[in-house]
Structure 1
Amino acid sequence: MERRKFIGTASIAGAMAALLPGETVASTTQSNGNLYAANGSKDRAYWADLLYQMMNPVFTNLANNTLVKNMPVEASPTYDGRKNVTYLEAVGRAAAGMAPWLALPDDDTKEGKMRKDLKQKFLKGIANGVNPSSPDYLNFTKEYQPIVDAAYLAHAFLRAPEALWEPLDDVTKKRVIKEFKALRTRKPWNNNWQLFTALTEAFLLNIGEEWDKEAVNKALGKFKEWYVGDGWYSDGPRFSFDYYNSFVIHPMLVDTLEILASKGVVPKENYDLALKRMIRQVVHQERMISPEGTFPVIGRSITYRNGAFQALAQAALMHQLPEGVSPSQVRCALTAIKKNILGRDTFNKEGWLTLGFCGHQPDVADYYSSTGSMYMASLSFLPLGLPADDDFWMGKPEDWTAKKAWNGKNFKKDYHVDY
């Protein structure tokens, strides 16, 4: 598969042309509609190169025991000082987004070599991250924030068990399990955090470990109470208009219930209903993408950038897109977003993500945001877990709903739902 040719200065272009697994580079992504011919294979090459570029600094350094040494820690001007957790944030969030891609079989293509490289670095890196003697020993035991980012790491294991969990040696597995269970010394806040605990405990159940059924039931009860209708959950007792239904709520609730249903802990109907509600949320997500490939800058955590579309990406990965929304139109919409948002100043000169939304804009970062937090952007890359010959990649380019509507083309009408 042809690798993406980056645009930029002569020196940067030369460096990018020579990109090999293991190297760290800065971004030269441009929002250029003519950068690629309009076909799915070129889109896939662009996604794969971009995800590799984003992931490589994190897992190269973790594998080399140099993450703490080399990762810059840029923080919000209002940062509350949770620096000890930023490294776990980077690892967990990055892993959750790249996991389906790494689950694909090895092959000798350029993309396959990138996948294999990242997979090897992940496996070596996790062994370091849970080794108390390592300089990159990750913080699972202090402060509350590890509740969040352990869950993203657990999500990665669930999304790619054969690639990312099963190959770990027994010592590393036991250490991961110990760290996950150590989280029980702290309780999640009364909002989307309930699902972080639920997903981590569901992972433990899934691998045959003792799990905290009471904590999981509490989370499920809260989100049954917090459903407000038409595919939207309240993030706690009061509704907030932001992207947390996609950053956290729908993907983690659906995947938690899938495990519980498969183990006979809850009726399958519970999972089916959660999935229906996520699909309804995805209708809204797809329609929020403008004809130009932008989306509303609303709510907190906007520096998670394109991670706002995790629910849409997961529905595509699961082949569960809403009726009337084709894989091709989702691919084209998400590609347009990536070209718009992951361009200027998104990466520093060493290849690490910067704080900001469309560029380096640290003033829009929230008080809990630092460099590691930014790796939530990986979550819109989930469809890379679909094979290259899947309809998502091979379908002819197609306009997404807003682009059809604003160009005077026919588009599907929308109505609320009652479930």
Structure 2
Amino acid sequence: MSRPGVPGRGTLLGRVPADHALSPCTGWTRAHWAALADDLLLSTRPFTSPDGSHVDLPGRTGGYGRDVDGLEGFARTFMLAAFRLAGERGHDPLDLAGRYAAGFAAGTDPTSPRRWTRPDEHGQAKVEAAALAIGLDMTRPWIWDRMSPTVQQQVVDYLATVVGGEYPQTNWVWFRIVVETFLRSVGGPYSSEDVESDLAAHDTFVREGGWYADGPERSFDHYTGWALHLYPVLWARMAPDDPLVVARRPRLDAHLDDYLRQAVALVGADGAPLFQGRSLVYRFAAAAPFWAGALAGSSVLTPGQVRRAASGVVRHFTEHGVPDERGLLTLGWHGAWPDLAQHYSGTGSPYWASKGLLGLALPADHPVWTAVEELLPVERGDVLAVAPAPGWLVSGTRDDGIVRVVNHGTDHALPGDDVSDSPLYARLGYSTVTSPVMGRRGWTDPVDQSVALVGPDGRLSHRSGFEALSAGTVRLEGGAGTAPSTADTVGTVAAVGFSRGRAHWVHPAGEVLDYGSGHRGDVTWGPWVTTGSVVRGAWEVRLVRVAPAEGATSGRLRVAGWAVSGDRAPVPVVDGASTLVSARASTPTLVSSVRAAVGELVPGVDVEHDATALGACTAVPWLTTAGEPGEDWYAVVVRLAGATVDPGPTPRVRVEEDVVHVTWGDGLRCRAELPGDGARGDRLDG
């Protein structure tokens, strides 16, 4: 009997045999992908309205109401159906074209009692209109061309309500671009001013190294890949000869190439994507940028690397209860965990995971399906890189397959903002095997992966609005050398990053709706806190200095490590007797630890319940000062690793005035300059 939620004999996917010759890493072939897509589409049929226009999935109604949920269910599953039809060149044993064509006819009929909510009536319909337009363009011979003139006009009238509308200056600009591009292709109304304005907005999102910020804030997350890189590729496919496409495509493709070089290194050996950023209920949409690269003809990743990365991501979820025992995608990560959803997420929202199945639009003879899988970067060796745009120090370790990022540049805010920390953006670290503490306390207190001050009422201070000071590498010296690596730099450098901000406590006023970012409210200001990281392998040497500010509230300094979750309570171990105190939390697969290296600190472990999507119990090791911190530097050694990996000797740390010296367990050494108070000038007393 198959485990609930894991594909078994009752599903099409469960009947497809693994092929370890073609796919030595995952065993997955195109047949697995097609079977999963068909399972997902067939499982939603019992929840499709009689007229075919809405897919009303069971579960908690989203913040925008039942009609929007049903529209999402239709539009997002239609996108998946479109990929299937396009890749099969119209071969359609499930009658996908006929069923979705009927839904279009009913949903766009203004006289229907369940007509679709229009883009000019509700903003979420602007998102879904893009999925409808992309799918119609991709299936033109089998759906659009076979519609009656009356239905075609209804569809045009429905989509045309986007023209001249107001759109947020975020990834949403692409929703209007692709809709108006489709409208233009079928003789419908469109506005060249809209498209040019939206493309100009997109240009303002461009950041170094292939990254996009999702709007003006430091909002770096999966939207870079599954939206801001994906839609330009789909747009170029829709209108390859459009002068705007011809002029922009070289820049868009080059930017995508730069991003893919980094994105592939963010996938864990088990296929897990980074657990960071909003809309994580979209799950394997994280595979979308790899398929976008293949669709765009990028050569940065080989076909075998593309399929390894994408199959790894999707297979990771199918091995962890996705879809569920009904064949449905729920609000959650592995299983259902509704608290992971934002306010805008409804029952149909998780089907944006369809983007991760874009590869099915490529025919079976495409090289991505016929090439032999190749290893991920973290499977070939340790990974160490700096992503300057998000301010991430990226470290992957081959021994346990974990990828971590230490964060000194992302908070979904602007420098100087006084919002609270979003657990999805402002933590000091994210990985492929951990989740930040969420739930109620995770939003009010930065419990894990944080440097905070404990206020008079026991609440923890926030860091959002910090200033990103630096992110780079320093050379290693001495020692007997390191094991071979995939990148020449991994064995010769450590990654270093610093940030500084004013600690503050936020007391939200009234009801707060979760859109992924931090919350605003009444603010109490604390001192300036400078935080730094020297990263190598599973280790981070975390450096902290607190500088007083006039009239500021202060409190004990608290430095917290990685949160580890499990179905059983992680095992806490606290050592307060030795000279170098430490705290550790472990599960059968993970160990998270913090150890004092410079400064007097007291250890402890927090245990939270139902606080993450990765397990019922979560533990966080931390260190704290006995009273208010001094003005000297503190250093803490932080580690996250697989439970079976030998940690070796703990790095040794020495601080001398404006320099930190680190001696790693293998004897290699490095030094990094520490930022001085002068970096902020008179703002230190502001």
With 363-372 and 86-95 compared, the bigger mean Cα shift is at: 86-95
Higher strand share: 2
SS in 2 for 1:351: coil
Q: Kindly tell me: are residues 39 and 179 of structure 1, through their superposed partners in 2, closer, same or farther at Cα, counting changes over 3 Å?
A: same
Q: Which amino acid aligns with 2:68?
A: V
SS in 1 for 2:315: helix
Q: Is the 8 A contact 1:310 1:379 kept in 2?
A: yes
Q: Which amino acid aligns with 1:270?
A: R
Number of aligned residue pairs? 385
CA deviations on 1:144-189 (whole Å, 9 max, x unpaired) are 1111110111111233322332222222211111001123474111
**1:104 maps to what in 2?**
87
Residue 48 (1) aligns with residue 55 (2): no
Q: 2 CA distance for matches of 1:83 and 1:7?
A: 33
Equivalence map 1:49-88=2 (5 Å): 49-58=35-44, 62=48, 64-65=50-51, 68=54, 71-75=57-61, 79-88=62-71
With 250-259 and 95-104 compared, the bigger mean Cα shift is at: 250-259
Residue 380 (1) aligns with residue 359 (2): no
**1:24 maps to what in 2?**
none
**2:248 maps to what in 1?**
270
Higher helix share: 1
Q: 1 CA distance for matches of 2:112 and 2:375?
A: 49
SS in 1 for 2:142: helix
Q: Which amino acid aligns with 1:374?
A: P
**2:290 maps to what in 1?**
312
Q: Is the 8 A contact 1:7 1:29 kept in 2?
A: no
**2:133 maps to what in 1?**
154
Q: Is the 8 A contact 2:53 2:103 kept in 1?
A: no
**1:364 maps to what in 2?**
340
Q: Which amino acid aligns with 2:116?
A: L
**1:249 maps to what in 2?**
228
**1:399 maps to what in 2?**
375
Q: Is the 8 A contact 1:58 1:67 kept in 2?
A: no
Q: Is the 8 A contact 2:233 2:292 kept in 1?
A: no
**1:3 maps to what in 2?**
none
Residue 176 (1) aligns with residue 155 (2): yes
Residue of structure 1 aligned with 2:195, choices 178, 197, 216: 216
Q: Kindly tell me: are residues 321 and 101 of structure 1, through their superposed partners in 2, closer, same or farther at Cα, counting changes over 3 Å?
A: farther
SS in 1 for 2:349: helix
SS in 2 for 1:153: helix
With 397-406 and 242-251 compared, the bigger mean Cα shift is at: 397-406
CA deviations on 1:393-415 (whole Å, 9 max, x unpaired) are 12123212221124577646799
- Unpaired stretches in structure 2, ≥5 consecutive residues: 383-397, 399-482, 491-686
Q: Which amino acid aligns with 1:247?
A: W
Q: Kindly tell me: are residues 105 and 96 of structure 1, through their superposed partners in 2, closer, same or farther at Cα, counting changes over 3 Å?
A: closer
**2:275 maps to what in 1?**
297
SS in 2 for 1:234: coil
SS in 1 for 2:166: coil
Q: 2 CA distance for matches of 1:113 and 1:204?
A: 26
Q: 1 CA distance for matches of 2:143 and 2:2?
A: 33
TM-score, reference length from structure 2:
0.51
Q: Which has the larger radius of gyration?
A: 2
Q: Which amino acid aligns with 1:240?
A: S
Q: Kindly tell me: are residues 59 and 182 of structure 1, through their superposed partners in 2, closer, same or farther at Cα, counting changes over 3 Å?
A: farther
Q: CA deviation at 1:234?
A: 1.6
Q: Kindly tell me: are residues 367 and 267 of structure 1, through their superposed partners in 2, closer, same or farther at Cα, counting changes over 3 Å?
A: closer
Q: Is the 8 A contact 1:401 1:411 kept in 2?
A: yes
Q: 1 CA distance for matches of 2:36 and 2:28?
A: 12
CA deviations on 1:349-378 (whole Å, 9 max, x unpaired) are 443321001211111111110111111101
Q: Kindly tell me: are residues 61 and 134 of structure 1, through their superposed partners in 2, closer, same or farther at Cα, counting changes over 3 Å?
A: farther
Residue of structure 2 aligned with 1:126, choices 88, 92, 104: 104
Q: CA deviation at 1:38?
A: 4.2
Q: 2 CA distance for matches of 1:181 and 1:14?
A: 45
Higher relative contact order (CA 8 A, sep 6+): 1
TM-score, reference length from structure 1:
0.81
SS in 2 for 1:332: helix
Q: Kindly tell me: are residues 412 and 125 of structure 1, through their superposed partners in 2, closer, same or farther at Cα, counting changes over 3 Å?
A: farther
With 40-49 and 202-211 compared, the bigger mean Cα shift is at: 40-49
Q: Is the 8 A contact 1:243 1:308 kept in 2?
A: yes
Residue of structure 2 aligned with 1:137, choices 102, 115, 121: 115
Q: CA deviation at 1:60?
A: 6.7
**2:72 maps to what in 1?**
89
Q: 2 CA distance for matches of 1:267 and 1:303?
A: 32
Residue of structure 1 aligned with 2:314, choices 312, 330, 338: 338
**1:285 maps to what in 2?**
263
Q: Kindly tell me: are residues 57 and 413 of structure 1, through their superposed partners in 2, closer, same or farther at Cα, counting changes over 3 Å?
A: farther
Q: Kindly tell me: are residues 145 and 341 of structure 1, through their superposed partners in 2, closer, same or farther at Cα, counting changes over 3 Å?
A: same
Q: Is the 8 A contact 1:62 1:128 kept in 2?
A: no
Q: Is the 8 A contact 2:57 2:73 kept in 1?
A: no
Q: Kindly tell me: are residues 14 and 286 of structure 1, through their superposed partners in 2, closer, same or farther at Cα, counting changes over 3 Å?
A: closer
**2:552 maps to what in 1?**
none
Q: CA deviation at 1:392?
A: 1.2
State the percentage of identical aligned residues: 24
Q: Is the 8 A contact 2:79 2:131 kept in 1?
A: yes
Q: 2 CA distance for matches of 1:69 and 1:383?
A: 24
Q: Is the 8 A contact 1:329 1:400 kept in 2?
A: yes
Q: Kindly tell me: are residues 70 and 255 of structure 1, through their superposed partners in 2, closer, same or farther at Cα, counting changes over 3 Å?
A: closer
Q: 2 CA distance for matches of 1:374 and 1:267?
A: 30
Residue 188 (1) aligns with residue 188 (2): no
**1:165 maps to what in 2?**
144
Q: Which amino acid aligns with 2:227?
A: V
CA deviations on 1:234-265 (whole Å, 9 max, x unpaired) are 2111121211112221222344356566233x
Q: Is the 8 A contact 1:261 1:271 kept in 2?
A: no
